[in-house]
Amino acid sequence: MAERDWSGRMQRFWRLLTGYVDVGVAFVLAVVILGLDVTGIASTSVVQSATMATLAVVSIVLLRDRARGDTRGELVQESVNALADGLRRQPDVQVVSGADCNRVLAEARRDTRVWWFRGATGAYVRAVTLPECVRTARPLRRKLEFRLEILDPMDPDLCGRFVGLHQRLATAQDAPEQAWSVEETRRELFATILAGCWHQQRYEMLDIDIRLSSAYSLLRYEMSTSCLVFTQRGPEFPALVINSGTPTYQCWESELHVSFQQAKRLPLDTVKHLRLGEQPTPDEMRRVFLGLGIELPADYTQNDLKEIRRLALEAGDPYA
């Protein structure tokens, strides 16, 4: 008698399990799709294909359950409809500021293999982004592609117009922009170029390309493999975040590529043999810049060159 009761219970359990396995499959697929879309791991096409697979499972459930006359198919359909509504509500563009902006940039740097920057002097990318990405990639020997599009330091008029624009847009007489100067801007640009050469010589897997632009913008574009971030002066200003795999991201990726191709390329590969020490000397710096086709101003003193070296390798987060 006990054996028959045990056998009956096992048969009922097996019928229950097989009766709901397709519902479980549909539920698991739905959760996976939502996770892939929210985290941005999978592209839009992959998410759409997975969604179609889930809907196919749901269709089978509905056909079978209508024949049985129960309501499980309706419950699954309601769950999938809610999931689809949630996916449709996921915005291509988000607005962040303050600590959220710093968090987004930190997360974008963590596992990226690519970083494209288009902006003015590149002070933040030089002090924070480039060193941190190299530090993260080095233990894994991961290839790192860096593209930097900055202003041309050999065009003082361009630098002057850039400084003047920000001074006219300043909201107060004591705003930091009021203290900017053309020479300070040029030194910042020289420092970004020097930092690129220095890091290139110390990490073999770093593929860095620096271009000089003849136009300036109020926005800075920072693109990683996970997202594209539009920033302004600092984290106190609103920033736009566009997740990868979206049509908006792909559109701006093409725009940045076209802009980069039009800018003047610095031949960084030709100066790899011109070694820069841990603390580059003024003579080492002049040789590297001369090899890049950029002759540092003749009136730059030893102190000027040391300041460029400090900006390149020792300056901290400008927005800390």
Delimit the domains of the chain by residue range. Answer: 2-90, 94-313
Q: Is residue 91's pLDDT more than 80?
A: no
Q: Is residue 96's pLDDT more than 50?
A: yes
pLDDT band for position 65 (cuts 50, 70, 90): low
**Amino acid residing at 35:** G
pTM reported for the whole predicted model: 0.72
Q: How far is Cα of residue 229 from the mean position of the Cα atoms in its chain?
A: 7
How large a percentage of the chain has pLDDT more than 70?
71
pLDDT band for position 87 (cuts 50, 70, 90): very low
- Indicate the helix (H) or strand (E) that contains 193: helix 182-202
| Predicted local confidence at residue 252, as pLDDT | 94
d(CA 33, CA 64): 24
Q: Is residue 318's pLDDT more than 50?
A: yes
| Predicted local confidence at residue 222, as pLDDT | 95
151-191 pLDDT tens trace: 999 999 999 999 999 989 888 888 888 889 999 999 999 99
| Predicted local confidence at residue 238, as pLDDT | 86
| Predicted local confidence at residue 26, as pLDDT | 55
Higher pLDDT, 51 or 211: 211
For the chain, the C-alpha Rg in angstroms (whole number) is 28
Instruction: Give the CA angle between residues 152, 157, 162 to the nearest 5°.
Output: 75
| Predicted local confidence at residue 224, as pLDDT | 96
| Predicted local confidence at residue 3, as pLDDT | 53
Q: How far is Cα of residue 93 from the mean position of the Cα atoms in its chain?
A: 14
Mean pLDDT (whole number) for 49-76: 54
d(CA 228, CA 109): 11
Mean pLDDT (whole number) for 204-230: 94
Q: Could you tell me which residues come within 8 angstroms of residue 38 by beta carbon, excluding any fewer than 6 positions away?
A: 90
Tokens (6 digits) for 188 = 């910042």
Mean pLDDT (whole number) for 105-119: 94
Mean pLDDT (whole number) for 34-56: 55
d(CA 299, CA 283): 14
Mean pLDDT (whole number) for 38-61: 55
Contact criterion met (CB below 8 Å) for 258 and 267: no
| Predicted local confidence at residue 163, as pLDDT | 94
Q: Is residue 220's pLDDT more than 70?
A: yes
Name the maximum alpha-carbon separation found in the chain. Answer: 104
CATH 3.30.870.10 at 94-313, yes or no: yes
Mean pLDDT (whole number) for 194-217: 95
pLDDT mean across residues, the chain: 82
d(CA 222, CA 230): 6
How large a percentage of the chain has pLDDT more than 90?
56
Q: Is residue 48's pLDDT more than 70?
A: no
Tokens (6 digits) for 81 = 């409809």
Residues in the chain: 320
Tokens (6 digits) for 165 = 């624009």
Mean pLDDT (whole number) for 288-308: 94
Nearest-CA neighbor of 26 among 68, 82, 91? 82
Please list, residue by residue across 34-66, b when 16 or more beta carbons sit within 10 angstroms of its beta carbon and e when fewer do: bebbeebebebeebeebbeebeebbeebeeebe
pLDDT band for position 99 (cuts 50, 70, 90): confident
d(CA 285, CA 278): 12
Give the C-alpha distances (Å, rounded to integers) separating 165 from 20, 177, 197, 247, 312. Answer: 66, 10, 30, 32, 25
Angle between helices 2-39 and 72-89 (to 10 degrees): 20
